[in-house]
A and B are shown apart, each in its own frame.
Chain A
Amino acid sequence: MNGNNPDIACLKARAKNIRRHVLRMAERVGQGYVGQGLGIADLLAALYFHELRYDAKRLDWPERDRFVLSIGHYSIGLYAALAEAGVIPIEELDTYGADGSRLEMSGSEFTPGFEMTGGSLGHGLGQAVGMALGLRLDARDARVFCLLSDGELHEGATWEAAMAGAHYRLDHLFAFIDCNNQVADGPTAQVMNIEPLQLKWQAFGWDTQRINGNRIEDITDAIARAKTARNQPHAIILDTLMGKGVTMFENREKQHFIRVEAREWELARKQLEASL
């Protein structure tokens, strides 16, 4: 899947399907992390349908690239991507958040395709560093792609891991930071300023880029560029729009957790279909 020139039109279609799945899941429970799932769909499409080396039929393939979801509540997006990739059945998405379902609101390692339990935020990058060290010890080619949120940059553990990643020159480690400018209590900058981000990651010794995280071609370009930088781990800071693809969610006052009236879903679906 990887190495060739990306088929952007195809990746865009995948991203749209991922968004359709996200709406389907959220509508079932009437609430949830819709904004996050929609906002990160472009990255997930670029990873699962272009960059990542994995085998949907053999998830424990030792040579697989690891996708590490540090942010458990973004699992709605990962379930959507995994369903689109054929890892979990699409119909199973209807069980999202239901008692007994594998598709928990805050995802865990007991769901196929999850490398660790995220959700107690700030764990992901450290485990990603550990996986990258382990893969290198085993002389495997596999790479580690970790998805973090801007809120996780408030946690000290994230920066401890960043320091270690650079110290050990893990150039097969890629961290994507979803900067949707929202944390639980409000806009990130108001809660606790994290800028200037690019300078921080650079100062920590990372090959760093900052891009529009909702443009698939920018994502695939950034990954291609990162792969040419040696002896450093790679940080790709994604500026994303929460709710991307559904104008009513893009425009409504940003919330970490949104409630949606039953009658609004049809409009949401229509707006997604009308989007590019």
Chain B
Amino acid sequence: MRTGVTANLLATDPSSAAKTVAAPFGQALVAAAEREPRIVGLTADLGKYTDMHVFAQRFPQRFFQIGMAEQNLVGIAAGLARAGWIPFASTYCVFATRRAYDFIAIGCALGQANVKIIAGLPGLTTGYGGTHQGIEDLALMRSIPNLVVIDPCDATEIAQVIPMIAAYRGPVYMRLLRGQAPVTLDPASYRFELGKAKLLRDGADAAIISAGLMTGRALDTAQQLAEDGIHAAVLHVSTLKPFDREAVLALARRVKKIVTAENHVVTGGLAGAVADTVADAGISIRLKRVGIPDCFCESGSLPCLQQRYGLDTENIVLAAKRLVES
């Protein structure tokens, strides 16, 4: 087992050697706000830590520092939306979802207030243990009616999601990859569409359905499997809600072995959505769920934690091989 120390990095995925882009959310929000004068930004004492500071510097008049008060953050954002503004409110996943849940459900989702919640440190992107690791936020958010839920995989996708959700009228929850964010997708060819999954690679032996940060590792997995003669498709589902059932069903009908990979507990998130979808359609498939097991994670260095809880590429490769060979 690798060992290291817990670090407070303003980078999302220090384990990947790939190219990174700095603060893609902050940059994209500024670009969107240059065109749309009704965008406002808010944070709960985590501006520097959610890239909201980029917006605050460019548009100080349209920025509201709320202090560390997440319920108030979401409540004020809902009020701004009702006053006709387009608020982007940032904090960490855990504080947005656990502490402000009622404020999101009733203040934002019930009446479809036009609030965009931007939530940092999804899943295992911090070594700080149970208090900071947002391991069940997708399950919580996915179960709220009317709420759009997005788990982007990289800087390219974040840059495209932001203008899209700014233009969409209604409440959105987006997981944020902050600071130095990896570049997995080619900006020249990738096109994010709200509610649409994207087949990033095709293959007939197995399918890996992934969301968020795990898509980079799913692509690495498919590459490694190909070297062993196993051809795996990779379907990237960044919009968890509304869920692209057709894309999943199309894949499930022709590839009967599916691995889901998510930076989240294996209950109630992507694996849950995939299982619901195929079960509802009466399709029988073999499903292997890669994600955080039903436990709070410990503190530690990210490479160590990702290995321990099975989020590393090696584990996805192993899961896929076992499934194909079974």
- Chain A interface residues toward B at CB < 8 A: 28-29, 31-32, 72, 97-100, 104-106, 108, 117-122, 151-152, 154-156, 183-185, 190-192, 257
Contact = CB atoms under 8 A, between A and B. Distances in A.
9 contacts: A31-B7, A72-B131, A99-B2, A99-B301, A104-B128, A105-B128, A119-B132, A152-B68, A183-B68
Contacts of A122: 68, 99
B68 A155 contact: yes
B131 A106 contact: yes
Interface stretch (B44-52, B174-182, B253-261): B44-52
Closest 4 CB pairs of A and B: A192-B67, A154-B67, A119-B131, A104-B299
A257 B43 CA distance: 18
Interface of B: 1-8, 43-49, 53, 65-69, 71-72, 94-95, 98-99, 127-132, 299-301, 304
A216 to B, nearest CB: 29
B7 to A, nearest CB: 7
A98 B3 contact: yes
A192 to B, nearest CB: 3
A221 B72 CA distance: 37
Contacts, number: 100
A120 B98 contact: yes
Contact of A191 (B1, B3, B67, B71): B67
Contacts of A191: 45, 65, 67
Q: Chain B contact residues: over half helix, strand or loop, or mixed?
A: loop
A183 B44 CA distance: 11
A185 B65 contact: yes
A185 B48 CA distance: 6
B129 A184 contact: no
Contact of A156 (B72, B94, B301): B72
B1 to A, nearest CB: 8
Given A31-B8, A154-B68, A99 B46 contact: no
B313 to A, nearest CB: 20
A108 B45 contact: no
A180 B8 CA distance: 21
